[in-house]
Structure 1
Amino acid sequence: MEMAGKIACFVLLCMVVVAPYAAALSCGQVTSAMAPCVPYLTPADRKTACTCLKSAANAIKGIDAGKAAGLPAACGVNIPYKISPSTDCSKVQ
């Protein structure tokens, strides 16, 4: 539900930004703009993203685990797991 709220806010932001430059914003334009993010809404893709982040955390030697875990918040992104070599991505939903 939280992701849906973020998407709705993003769509609204797009509408506000684009509206002064276009006669009308179509649903097709909004859908096209959001299309790259839609796969993240499925559990399988969230697990894949988790696995990628975990692999990246494992690949970087000397990584500060505390800073890695805080990276999403520092970037203004909310993910349902922490970036850590010990994260169990099979439990990500």
Structure 2
Amino acid sequence: MANLSVQMVICFTFACFLLLAPRNEAIECQDVVKYLVPCMSYLRGTGGPVPGACCSGVRGLNEAASTTPDRRTACVCIKKYSGEITGLNPNLVGSLPESCGVHLPFVPSPNTDCSRVP
């Protein structure tokens, strides 16, 4: 009986470690949208200075999408939503990262092949 109790404690402890272990969660479209919401009025405009909150979001998205799969997901989400949101200025969308001092390995554009994003 004592042997069974020890095994149960070990199994329980192992299960707790699995549940509490940090996860490497991938970025999702809702995350991309959250980061870029502060940019919407700027991206619908004609230019001018980029709002600080927008650049903070761009930098946050760049940090969050640090792996190739995450960058590809972000690319797909940006393509999807930029085609669905009316009134976006495609030139501002494409130049937004550079305007915020962020280097991306792809240009946000409806024509970007997201499967080629490194």
Task: Name the TM-score class by shorter chain.
Answer: 0.5 to 0.7
Tell me the C-alpha RMSD between the 2 structures: 1.6
Aligned identity (percent) is 41
* 2:93 counterpart of 1:44: no
Question: After TM superposition, what 4+ stretches of structure 1 lie above 6 angstroms from structure 2?
Answer: none
The residue aligned with 1:60 is: 85
Count of residue pairs the alignment pairs up: 56
Q: Distance in 2 between matches of 1:49 and 1:85?
A: 13
Kindly state the Cα deviation for residue 43 of structure 1 after the two structures are TM-superposed. Answer: 1.0
Q: What is the distance in 2 between the residues matched to 1:73 and 1:44?
A: 22
Provide structure 1 residue ranges, at least 5 long, that are not aligned to the other structure. Answer: 1-36
Q: What is the rounded CA distance, in whole Å, between the counterparts of 1:76 and 1:61 in structure 2?
A: 26
Residues of 2 paired with 1:84 and 1:40: CA distance? 17
Which structure features the higher share of helix residues? 1
The answer as to 2:98 corresponding to 1:73 is yes
2:113 aligns with 88
Once residues 60 and 40 of structure 1 are traced to their aligned partners in structure 2, the CA distance between those partners, rounded to angstroms, is 22
Structure 1 residue 76, shift from structure 2 partner: 1.8
Paired residues of 1:50 and 1:89 also in contact (CA < 8 A): yes
Asked if structure 2 preserves the Cα contact closer than 8 Å seen for 1:69 and 1:84, the reply is yes
Residues 43-67 of structure 1, C-alpha deviations (whole Å, 9 max, x = no match):
1111011111111211122322111
| TM-score normalised according to structure 2 size | 0.43
Structure 2 unaligned regions, length at least 5: 1-62
Q: Which piece of structure 1 moves more, 39-48 or 80-89?
A: 39-48
Given that 1:57 and 1:83 are in contact with CA atoms closer than 8 Å, whether structure 2 keeps it comes out as no
